[in-house]
Amino acid sequence: MSTGIWLVGARGNVASTAITGARAIARGVVDETGMVTGVEPMASLDLPEVDELVFGGHDIQTQSIEETAEQAHRDGGVPDRETLDAVREDLREIDDRVAIGTARQCGETIQDLSDGEATGDQSLADIVSRIRDDYATFVREHRLDRLVVVNVSSTEPPIDEPERYASLADFEAAIEDDDPNLPASTLYAYSALVDGHPYVNFTPSTGSALGGLRELAERNDTPHMGRDGKTGETLVKSALAPMFAGRNLRVLSWEGHNILGNTDGLVLEDDDNKAGKVASKGNLLEEILGYDTHNAVRIDYTPSLGDWKTAWDHIHFQGFLETKMKMQFTWEGSDSALAAPLVLDLARLVAHADEHGEGGCQPQLASFFKSPQGVDEHDLSRQLQRLYDYAERHR
């Protein structure tokens, strides 16, 4: 079985690191550390092998995958020189398969990143037809048995009135009517699901979250999941908050301040684009704690940091005898090195679900996301347990 991974945002940091990592694993330069599918019980599933994954994708700008990886090496040391040199030829070959996508309704900051073609005045129906052709051509030319589409493109502003697309009929009518409200991520998602390609949304953008697209996935028995990869501050939050809840330590406030410097940071500097990210980072505490607490998340662009993200969190909590206490933590991570292995994990795990006829939302993948679609559980260990149970069932 050959599996293709189509990365929407293929020339960005997360995509180029995922491709670099997969090819470096294939060439024996690095191991699978950081990949959830690299450990049991997931490692025993009949997943597509990392070294057999075939990559392609869409982007809206012309800086190549190799140039992005080179810049990431220069600015932040990830990947290292030896790894980059080992996969350089692979990156060039994959970049030749990147097609120009669409920047439709992604906000001005993203449009400014794009070249003219991606912002052209094609109708929605034409854009969808072009995206479907791009997927189909990739499948045909590489004789793929399965194609998984993963959105790792820049964060769009949240969609207005998502309830207007609650059914598939509503969504398809909106395409026919050339509805200016539909953002690019929904077009990539629709184009995947309508032809039965599994879809993963690693970003806070709308993607397959609309009712109409969930209906389509159910109808076509196609797996899909999102939204927004859980890789840093929110990952730590979802591990720590259950401790406060379990010990009946009342969280009085939880302040989080993130600074980051890559293009993701630049795009999130735009308040419209930032709104989606802040929403998806913010909503898990109440669910885990069971009560509202003062809880603010700030994200600031700090160009000199490149791909290295820092988060400071200050947790003020109350214990026995009304004693007030504090916990603070600092998280410093290479954004892309944290995200990239999860992109590979998710692609392999939705391919597995597809192989086993498990269409629709994939709740066993909740631990990978800040806002897991169709799942209210945000406690990391309980989310992971769902994945382990799934893997044990299939082993």
| Closest by CA position to 19, among listed 30, 7, 8, 29 | 7
Residue 203 near ligand NAI by CB under 6 A: yes
Q: Which of 3, 201, 262, 362 binds ligand NAI (CB under 6 A)?
A: 262
CB nearer to ligand NAI: give 249 or 371.
371
Q: Where are the alpha helices (DSSP H) in the chain?
A: 13-26, 65-76, 81-95, 108-113, 124-141, 168-176, 184-194, 211-219, 233-246, 263-268, 271-282, 284-289, 335-355, 380-394
Task: Please report, as residue ranges, which positions from 357 to 386 form the binding site for ligand NAI (by CB under 6 A).
Answer: none
Pick out residues in 221-240 that bind ligand NAI (CB under 6 A).
228-229, 231-232
Instruction: Out of 86, 152, 213, 346, point to the residue binding ligand NAI (CB under 6 A).
Output: 152
Q: At residue 334, what are phi and psi to the nearest 5 degrees?
A: -80, 110
Choice between 21 and 232, CB closer to ligand NAI: 232
Stretch that binds ligand NAI, among 54-62, 126-134, 140-148, 384-392 (CB under 6 A): 54-62
Q: In the beta sheet, which residues pair with residue 159?
A: none
Single out the segment in contact with ligand NAI by CB under 6 A; choices: 42-50, 258-266, 291-299, 349-357: 258-266
- Alpha-carbon 223 to chain mean position: 15
- The reply to whether 101 sits near ligand NAI by the rule CB under 6 A is yes
Site membership for ligand NAI, residue 60 (CB under 6 A): yes
Nearest residue (CB) to ligand NAI, 10 versus 24? 10
Of the residues 58, 97, 197, 274, which one makes contact with ligand NAI according to CB under 6 A:
58
SS (H, E, C) 309-355: EEEEEEEEEECHHHCEEEEEEEEEEEHHHHHHHHHHHHHHHHHHHHH
The window from 28-36, 58-66, 218-226, 344-352 that contacts ligand NAI (CB under 6 A) reads 58-66
Q: Is 154 in the site for ligand NAI (CB under 6 A)?
A: yes
167: its two tokens: 């059914």
- 3-state SS assignment for residue 39: coil
